[in-house]
Amino acid sequence: MLGEPPEHSVRSIALSELHDEEACREYISWFQHYIDAPDMKVAASMLAKRLGYLWTAPLVTAMTFHHQHVTFQLENSFLYHPKLEEHEKGTRFPFLAVNELRAEELTGDRHVWREKAVQEMFAVQLTPLLKTLATIAPLSMSILWENIMVRIGRLFAPDEGETEQERKTIREDFSYLTQVASGQVFGERKNPLTRFTDCKDNVHVAKSERLTCCFWYQMSGEYCLKCPKIDNEKESQLQ
């Protein structure tokens, strides 16, 4: 949503605060208990998945499908938890409120502004936060990156309503994000998304199954459809 977080929220925190290790640790500890996660590791993984949904997916959508560079200041962007009545079944996961959001129509060399948009999105804003989560949980960065990837990958699934030019742009952007972009634009040594893709008919696509487990089963008692633990469970039952 645009604007300030609701006044009577259970909890709100600026995204900029999550770059600070102590502030992030305190929030994740609170979040763990609020969503009834078994430990900090699960809570941090769930937050990364939520950030992929609330933050990364909309920015990538704006870039690829609307040719816009959407920017906002982290100190003016808040995760918030709406107040829930006892009879309500609303999620306890956070929502995102953003002040002073700007959308710039992108023209000129797509390769130039795309790199700028992706670098701001990841190296400047998201990656430092993921690294903080990985430190305090503690948790593998591979899990956190795949949590982001599952939100990005579904955006690039084929759609019969797209024109040939739109399909070309979508393929090129996905290839850039997952294959061409250097680790530098992600704030990493190498591109962290590459390993979560396959190449089918000379087109790069997101893997149909995860390589890592996000630990959702530890909260819900059931596995995600793409969970790598499903096959492992079947194999152990057959032995």
- pLDDT for 181 beyond 90: yes
Total number of domains in the chain: 1
Report the pLDDT value the prediction gives residue 142, as an integer from 0 to 100.
Answer: 96
CB 10 within 8 A of CB 83: yes
Q: Please compute the mean of the pLDDT values over residues 134-149 and round it to a whole number.
A: 96
Burial environment of residue 238 by CB neighbours within 10 A (0 to 12, 13 to 18, 19 or more): exposed
Contacts of residue 201, defined as CB under 8 A and 6 or more positions apart, other chains included, come to: none
Report the pLDDT value the prediction gives residue 86, as an integer from 0 to 100.
Answer: 52
Q: What is the pLDDT of residues 41-66, one digit of tens each?
A: 999 999 999 999 999 999 999 999 99
| Within-domain flag for 127 | yes
Q: What is the pLDDT of residues 86-131, one digit of tens each?
A: 545 678 999 999 988 888 887 788 889 999 999 999 999 999 999 9
| Within-domain flag for 123 | yes
| Within-domain flag for 5 | no
CB 191 within 8 A of CB 179: yes
| Within-domain flag for 3 | no
Burial environment of residue 151 by CB neighbours within 10 A (0 to 12, 13 to 18, 19 or more): buried
- pLDDT for 239 beyond 60: no
Q: Give kind and range of the element (H or E) at residue 206.
A: strand 203-206
Q: Give the structural domain span for 43.
A: 11-238
Report the pLDDT value the prediction gives residue 231, as an integer from 0 to 100.
Answer: 58
- pLDDT for 203 beyond 70: yes
| Within-domain flag for 118 | yes
Report the pLDDT value the prediction gives residue 238, as an integer from 0 to 100.
Answer: 33
Report the pLDDT value the prediction gives residue 237, as an integer from 0 to 100.
Answer: 37
| Within-domain flag for 75 | yes
Rounded to whole angstroms, how far apart are CA atoms 83 and 102? 28
Percent of the chain, pLDDT > 90? 61
